[in-house]
Amino acid sequence: MSDVIAKISGPVGHITLNRAKALHALNTQMCADISKALLDWRSNDSVKIIVIDHAEDTRGFCAGGDIKPMAISGQGDGVEVRKFFETEYRMNVQLFEYPKPVVTFMDGLTMGGGVGLSIHGSHSIATENTVFAMPETGIGLFPDVGGGWFLPRLGGGLGQWLGLTGARLKGGDVAAAGIATHFVESKVLPAIKEMVLLGDLEVLEAMEWEEYGSFIKQIDIINACFEKDTVEEIFQALEDNGSEWALKQLSIMKTKCPFSMKVTHRQLIEGGKLETFKDVMAMEFRLANRSVARPDFAEGVRAVVVDKDNAPKWEPAELSGVSETDLEAMFAPLERGELTFL
């Protein structure tokens, strides 16, 4: 059976992720299938609403992109991984610009590419089972799929905290942070989904949830420590704060890829200034193509996915070793002949 099931049901174009053994991790074909369905249904007047969900009885909505083949391609000629990013990012832009309501049920693990699939539409529904994270700095990457757009627009230092540390938000916290648009308990989710699949969006507007998430207890520290001009200043601010929570964040960041943290910090600052989502995605496309060719990405995938020793050896190993020249090169315009996705 296909990894993506796309069908029209009454007034709804229904997309279901169906790769349960891989927690619905996205590959190029899955992104292409979703993109094609969105394109077909865009001009179909009988389709009023798009619904995206995942096959039942799995704990993940979408665990992200399928990174192992990406690492192999990135260390080779890079053709396949560039094709993946081109296809995935085009899908992200489609969702962001879609002229019809797009309702995503992010019931379960929602990380990386799963975030890009779920939050750019009009309605994203979290449940107590939802676990959100952008953990890319732990594998030598950066929070892509539009992270440069939505993270800096969360306000304060929240986006930098999530992007740099890979912190997880659970349940209602995902909506409270402004990432999901709605929260509903999973026990009533089937009834809610049934109504949406009949074309009823009013049921979503009637939902209420806790306004503030558990992270609000630390929001003053997050804003004071993560709204800084450099990653080094963030490190120092956390150390100076000295609280148990701040020192824990510092300890977590010291395990992340130094180069990736530098890229991420600048990505979110630059993304916060850019005026269109397409501009952000063009920036991230440049960053993605270059990041996967770096040894840090292959090492991160080895440590987390292949050997699972969680002991990556980053190059460089410290923030002080990151060259500004190398960092500038990551953000430079694409060379002639490199792929573009728009």
64, 74, 113, 159: the active-site residue: 113
| Contact in structure between 49 and 195 (CB atoms under 8 Å) | no
242 is catalytic: no
- Please tell me the distance from the alpha carbon of residue 9 to that of residue 46, in angstroms, as a whole number: 10
* Strands, sheet with 49-54, edge to edge from the N-terminal-most edge strand: 4-9, 12-17, 49-54, 102-106, 123-126, 182-183
113 is catalytic: yes
| Contact in structure between 281 and 341 (CB atoms under 8 Å) | yes
60, 65, 114, 148: the active-site residue: 65
CA angle, corner 285, sides to 280 and 287, nearest 5?
A: 95
53, 86, 107, 144: the active-site residue: 144
In three state form, how does the secondary structure of 103-134 look? EEEECCEEECHHHHHHCCCCEEEECCCCEEEC
What amino acid is encoded at 149 in this protein? Answer: W
| Helix axes 231-241 and 244-253, enclosed angle (nearest 10) | 150
136, 173, 296, 299: the active-site residue: 136
With CA atoms as reference, report the closest residue to 91 among 41, 39, 24.
39
271 is catalytic: no
- Counting runs of H as helices and runs of E as strands, what totals does the chain give? 16, 10
Task: Return the structure tokens found at 163.
Answer: 């992007």
65 is catalytic: yes
- Please tell me the distance from the alpha carbon of residue 1 to that of residue 236, in angstroms, as a whole number: 52
Residues acting as catalytic residues: 65, 113, 136, 144
